[in-house]
Amino acid sequence: MFPTLYIDTDIVSQNIKKMADKCRRNGLEFRPHFKTHQSAEIGELFRDFGIRGITVSSPKMAQYFANHGWKDITIAFPANVLSNSVYDDLASKITLKTLVISEEVVRLLDQEVSNSMGLYIELDPDYGRSGIPINDLPAIRSVLETIEKSEHFYPAGFYCHAGYTYKARSENDILELITPTIKKLEVIKSTFPDLPICFGDTPSCSVLSDFGPLDQLSPGNFVFYDWMQVQIGSCSPNEIAVYMECPVIEKFESRNEVLIHGGAVHFSKEFIEINGVKSFGEPRLKYLSEETYLKNISQEHGIIKCSPNVFEEISVGESIQIFPIHSCLTADLMQKYKSTEDGRVIEHLSGINK
Amino acid sequence: MFPTLYIDTDIVSQNIKKMADKCRRNGLEFRPHFKTHQSAEIGELFRDFGIRGITVSSPKMAQYFANHGWKDITIAFPANVLSNSVYDDLASKITLKTLVISEEVVRLLDQEVSNSMGLYIELDPDYGRSGIPINDLPAIRSVLETIEKSEHFYPAGFYCHAGYTYKARSENDILELITPTIKKLEVIKSTFPDLPICFGDTPSCSVLSDFGPLDQLSPGNFVFYDWMQVQIGSCSPNEIAVYMECPVIEKFESRNEVLIHGGAVHFSKEFIEINGVKSFGEPRLKYLSEETYLKNISQEHGIIKCSPNVFEEISVGESIQIFPIHSCLTADLMQKYKSTEDGRVIEHLSGINK
């Protein structure tokens, strides 16, 4: 056997149900982000919960899901003016929305598209990645006016990703980190009461119970979760829907370490530091232990540091199941899933067209 | 346009020629590692330099290159006893060699194969990843005897990967780091004079001029190099054969930062720390500057921190060329190359079968 990514679709459905119920209870439109699973088959599981509008992170992902019957898609990445024709083609077939930040891009896009498109103004909640600074009302107004002047565009609302909640290490941390942004979004809401606010990070969406000024939720990672989300405080280990299964290659007794086939081309090089110690993955089930973790990886090698008990139990020629640190990246690298239910292969976009 | 990985095959050929010449001058067998490019077409470039024996890092890679006419392949990863039949099938078609570390694995493998196979004993030069500790002569002798007792196996020699040279930050650092391991390999050579020693890390192979007890070289990354190898001291920027080209999406004037489409699913999350600052990639050509670097990446987003001059020069709607930190991982993620010569697509194994 070779390193394999397993998926438990029962857990996937439970995770979707929980988030869909939460949105319904709070009167929020649920527009799940499909960048994590990137799979037509897993996408179908969302339809059982009445989902019609979805979110993706690239034009290619939008094309893929449009080809699989999704008619209302937000590309939650600022418009790429070097790919105008892709946006325009999509907008001719489906309800397409994307993000903008500057008047310049709105104008450049406007010159080359002929179909109607919704534009969210992306707001940066002091995360420093992308968006208009959330407090900069004059800049927000200017971009909004430029959108309204165009014949092709309509304002879809505001899009805000508070990615800094990944620094949290408990549910309370998440709530403390997100509260100032929610307060700033209240100002946006009272200034532009007619425009919906879409909001997306998995930690906040998982733990918030009062969504204040928000109108739409677009989390992605929650569909699988992962070991990072457990550490952040978003979920428990039994809510993680995917795991890697890797062959145990050798045992090194002098250092209580085990070599597996499973490296950076399988897990990604994403790690999390727990008490100053880096982990690239966490063995699950009977091997889940604070002292046992994927200590280091190179291209194909993984080294698991073991507690003495775990080291005794593991044998060469077995396989070991490991939670990924970041399921989005692991799924993208593995290019497909194997169902825990019946062993069938479930496709991932990166296995077809990247 | 979308993020694209370009390859300059002239630089590839220059890099191969330089290493092949070095091997010939030093009487070493050159068994290049194909894990970096993973491409049948790029593999063909090696034939011009008389290469017949190659190195790969997984059974799947061995199958791929065997299907493309390579008849002498080392899988430079310890034998996976859960895939015995794959090894046996390969060994029925080509000259197959792989690595072993323990008597247990030699015995398990021996029970299930029927074809002849060469086994390298992997030695660990205090790197802590994989192998018998290089000073443990009794353990080495025991494994060697177990190999010699088998009807299927013959000792192929010793395989030693000094991956710790990646900590170097100058040519002198590399030489200082590698010298103790070369001295230990002299002991191995004088103890087992009939067995060849195969040695592989790109930094050492790039800068050593005296290869002492070594018989075979199997570097991989040198074929492309990357920004990490420049920082290590292995090469100069004009020896890097691959780069990413990414669309410039937005500019953020308040922070001299630029958003590109190009994230962890394109570059990988490999980074290098230079003077305490993390870099996930380095813009090339006119944008190559100490103050300009890929500061942060998430799944699809990349943020380039710019010097004031570079920030002025970059425009939305252009694209920017960026050296990857670790070309092996970037190539694996991108799944194919585009030739700088004529724009043709060059295949990578991960785009066909992973």
Q: Which three-class secondary structure state does DSSP give residue B76?
A: strand
Is the ipTM above a cut-off of 0.90?
A: yes
CA distance linking residue A85 with residue A75, whole number of Å? 14
Inter-chain residue contact B316 with A129, CB threshold 8 Å: no
Residue B289's pLDDT band, with cuts at 50, 70 and 90, is: confident
The answer, for A353 touching chain B at a CB cutoff of 8 Å, is no
What pLDDT is recorded for position A185?
Answer: 98
Residues in B 291-310 with any Cβ partner in A closer than 8 A: 296, 298-301, 303
Q: Rounded distance, CA B196 to CA B188, Å?
A: 10
Q: Do B82 and A319 touch (CB under 8 A)?
A: yes
Place of tokens 């950076």: A264
| CB-CB contact of A241 with A225 (8 Å) | yes
**Per-residue pLDDT at B194 exceeds 90:** yes
Residue A256, pLDDT > 90, answer: yes
The pair of three-digit structure tokens given for residue B159, joined into one six-digit string:
């395989």
Q: Does A329 touch chain B (CB under 8 A)?
A: yes
Per-residue confidence (pLDDT) for residue A117, from 0 to 100 = 97
| Phi, psi (rounded to 5 degrees) for B40 | -60, -40
pLDDT at B244: 98
> Cβ neighbours of residue A18 under 8 Å, at least 6 residues apart?
none
Closest CA of chain A from B161, distance in Å: 12
Domain over A10-226 is classified CATH 3.20.20.10: yes
Burial of A281 (0-12, 13-18, 19+ CB in 10 A): buried
The reply to whether A1 touches chain B by the CB within 8 Å rule is: yes
Q: Using the predicted structure, report yes or no on whether residue B338 has a pLDDT greater than 80.
A: yes
Q: Domain spans of chain B?
A: 9-228, 237-351
Window A:48-77, CB contacts with B under 8 Å: 57-60, 77
| Residue A141, C-beta contacts closer than 8 angstroms, at least 6 positions apart | none
Asked if A316 and B255 come within 8 Å (Cβ–Cβ), the reply is no
At A274 the pLDDT is 85
Task: List the one residue out of A240, A241, A219, A222 whose CA is nearest residue A54.
Answer: A219
Q: Does B247 touch chain A (CB under 8 A)?
A: yes
Q: CB under 8 Å to B190, separation ≥6 — which residues? A: B213
Non-local CB neighbours of B188 within 8 Å, separated by 6+ positions: B123, B134, B140, B158, B197, B213
**Nearest Cα to Cα of residue A157 among A200, A204, A205, A107:** A200
Class of domain B237-351: mainly beta
- The architecture that CATH gives domain B9-228 is Alpha-Beta Barrel (3.20)
**For the whole model, what pTM was predicted?**
0.97
Q: Which of residues 91-130 of A touch B (CB under 8 A)?
A: 101-102, 104-105, 108, 128-130
Average pLDDT over residues A273-294: 92
Asked if the Cβ–Cβ distance from B60 to A2 is below 8 Å, we say yes
Cα gap A189→A199, rounded to integer Å: 13
A261–B58 C-beta distance less than 8 A: yes
CA dist B121 and A259 (Å) reads 16
Which tokens sit at B102? 């323990």
**Residues of chain B contacting residue A324, judged by C-beta atoms under 8 Å apart:** none
Report chain B residues whose CB lies below 8 A from the CB of A316: 81, 102, 104-105, 108
The stretch B296-309 carries a mean pLDDT of 97
Q: Among partner residues A102, A269, A296, which is closest to B269 by beta-carbon distance?
A: A269
**Mean pLDDT of the residues in chain A:** 97
Residue whose structure tokens are 């990604």: A268
**pLDDT (tens digit, 9 = 90+) per residue, A7-52?**
999 999 999 999 999 999 999 999 999 999 999 999 999 999 999 9
State the best of B5, B60, B80, B85 to mutate against chain A, taking most chain A CBs within 10 Å: B80
What band does B225 get if pLDDT is binned at 50, 70 and 90? very high
Chain B residue with minimum CA distance to A104: B316
Is the pLDDT at A354 greater than 80, yes or no?
no
Residue B354 has pLDDT above 80, yes or no: no
Element containing residue A165 per DSSP (H, E): none
